[in-house]
Structure 1
Amino acid sequence: MLPWIVGFLSFVLFPVGWSLYNSFNKVSITSDGFQYHWVGFENYYRMLFENNEYPILLITYFQEMLLMIPLILIFAFFVALLLNQKFPARGFMRTVFFLPVIFATGQVLMELFRQGSGELPFMEQYRVEDVVDLYFGGSVAEAIVSVLSKAVIILWYSGVQILIFLAGFQTISRTLYEAIRVDGASPWESFWKITYPAMIPFIGLNAVYTIVDLFTYPFNPVLKVVQDNMFKATTGYGYASAMAWLYFGLVLVCIGAALGLTYRASGMGGGRR
């Protein structure tokens, strides 16, 4: 942990503390530098009660992410389960599923989406949006359609999760499966009795990684709004810092919920880890 602690204290602690201090000030940029005027929680009040656009954007975006995170985890889990089996060209297939992690960097991903590579044609061909709106309606339908339109992102953002799940599967001793099969257990029972309990810590790790990855990816509309407000005369650094801290707090809540669910599941699945 020492390299991480040194790096955090040297490069991260001051910017984070300065951002938190800015959120309680009205920050003005003058020829003499930054000028601070203490306003307390006024920036937070304006953000939540005077600016209706930002809270709605937060709610909508979190709805989409809460749908995408389980989809990514489920997809990565079962792909890793398949890649853990013995079959010809297994190493090549593992490489294929990990390649998007290398190619889907920020600028490359943005360029691919500008060219329309991030959209799936079946959405318009089969009028998926109308079907979803018929059965769900409202903001739920909008969130589902938005997630379906980002199916390519689900594929691209599953490479690291697949690798972590694959490493987790390889920690399970084969003798456990042999023993439970001797006792007459079916593959379905061995999955729930051995595979799933052993993989719970890896599910929690991947959940945290996916949350952080999705809430910081290049097309995040919340971060764009925060950046835009940094340079507006009516808002500025203080207001934008308050927006960023609210967003950061909600992300921490999601991470805490993922860790809490993992801890409880680990306790029920055969002891604390």
Structure 2
Amino acid sequence: MKESMSRTVFTRFNYLFLSLMGLIMLLPFLHILAGSFSSGNAIMQGKVTIFPIEFTLLNFKAVLNDAAIWRSFGISIFVTVFGTAINLLLTSLMAYGLAKTDLKGRSFLILLVLFTMIFQAPMIPSYLVVKDLGMLNTLWSIMIPNAISAFNLIIMMSFFQRIPKDLLEAARIDGCGEYRTWWKIALPMSLPAMTTVGLFYAVGHWNGYFNSLMFIRDSSLFPLQVKLRKLLVESDAEAMMQSAELTLSSIEGIKMAAIMVATIPILVIYPFIQKYFTQGAMLGSIKE
């Protein structure tokens, strides 16, 4: 009875604590959302909290009328879709190979993978490698250097190891080579893992910022996150404000509206993909 009472108190405390933490994390978002729909004067006077003051759509009008925003938006979509496809292809191929226990040098290769999880490549060598490969100032520099994530590779490898060996042997007896077995047998049976890993990669590409900032100098190739930074810390917001013929006090509102434009796609799809993120941490960790 005592143990049951203690567990109940502990559970309620956890719910209360996590609810409080969730509220604290939600407040900045609500403030940005309210500011994006508020007038510049209300923002500058500090009247905006979590509800819009002097409701207006001028901030979003200024952002959406900027051709550079739409170009950056399109680049982010392209990098997310095409980059995720490259990620899934290379990760699944490598994971399929490492899932074979009879692979020569398997332990050493897995050790190298784990090493990359602990020690990241230094910035200057990474820049020199990208430059020598001729990818500098191209979209390839965003997608290729991080084409395989060690964490996602381990998830895929663990899932491939759950495929019955008898099924793979039957495919080989029927004349399937390794690539055909991977394509016809392993991938269809690993759709849950592929979906989860693909979502991890896609969100990473959409929120990607550092590689774009380091490898790309052509402003016409900036993805949305880099464009957002320029709006927040450089003079791009002022130029946008002048083109939209807004008052000086609307700069902060424009910045908040730009943040919302960059965030909305994730907010729209997240309720539908939340379960895959929840399952992702444990996916493949328990063998049947």
In structure 2, the partner of 1:206 is 197
The 1-side partners of 2:155 and 2:78 are apart by: 26
CA distance 1:250–1:150, change in 2 (3 Å)? same
Report the Cα offset of residue 250 of structure 1.
2.6
Scaled by the length of structure 2, the TM-score of the pair is 0.65
245-254 or 193-202: bigger deviation: 245-254
CA distance 1:193–1:67, change in 2 (3 Å)? closer
The 2-side partners of 1:238 and 1:48 are apart by: 13
Q: Counterpart amino acid of 1:89?
A: G
Say which of 78, 84, 87 aligns to 1:72. Answer: 87
Structure 1 position 165 matched with structure 2 position 178: no
> Percent identity between the aligned chains?
16
The 1-side partners of 2:31 and 2:67 are apart by: 26
Structure 1 position 34 matched with structure 2 position 46: yes
CA distance 1:17–1:194, change in 2 (3 Å)? same
The 1-side partners of 2:229 and 2:158 are apart by: 35
Q: Counterpart amino acid of 1:214?
A: H
The 2-side partners of 1:158 and 1:205 are apart by: 13
CA RMSD of aligned residues (A): 3.6
The 2-side partners of 1:53 and 1:234 are apart by: 22
Instruction: Determine helix, strand or coil for the equivalent of 2:92.
Output: helix
Larger Rg: 2
CA contact 1:24–1:43 (8 Å) conserved in 2:
yes
Report the Cα offset of residue 83 of structure 1.
1.2
Structure 1 position 196 matched with structure 2 position 187: yes
Aligned length: 229
CA distance 1:256–1:191, change in 2 (3 Å)? farther
8-17 or 246-255: bigger deviation: 246-255
The 2-side partners of 1:74 and 1:257 are apart by: 24
CA distance 1:257–1:223, change in 2 (3 Å)? farther
CA distance 1:19–1:181, change in 2 (3 Å)? same
CA contact 2:97–2:103 (8 Å) conserved in 1:
no
CA distance 1:112–1:83, change in 2 (3 Å)? same
Scaled by the length of structure 1, the TM-score of the pair is 0.68
CA distance 1:38–1:58, change in 2 (3 Å)? same
Instruction: Determine helix, strand or coil for the equivalent of 2:208.
Output: coil
CA contact 1:101–1:159 (8 Å) conserved in 2:
yes
Structure 2, unaligned runs of 5 or more = 1-13, 211-224, 239-247, 275-288
Report the Cα offset of residue 101 of structure 1.
3.5
In structure 1, the partner of 2:243 is none
Structure 1 position 11 matched with structure 2 position 34: no
Q: How does 1:1-273 map to 2 (within 5 A)?
A: 6=19, 9-27=22-40, 34-36=46-48, 37-49=53-65, 51-85=66-100, 86-104=102-120, 112=123, 116-117=127-128, 119-123=130-134, 146-150=138-142, 152-155=144-147, 157-181=148-172, 184=174, 186-187=176-177, 190-219=181-210, 220-228=225-233, 235-252=250-267
CA distance 1:73–1:222, change in 2 (3 Å)? farther
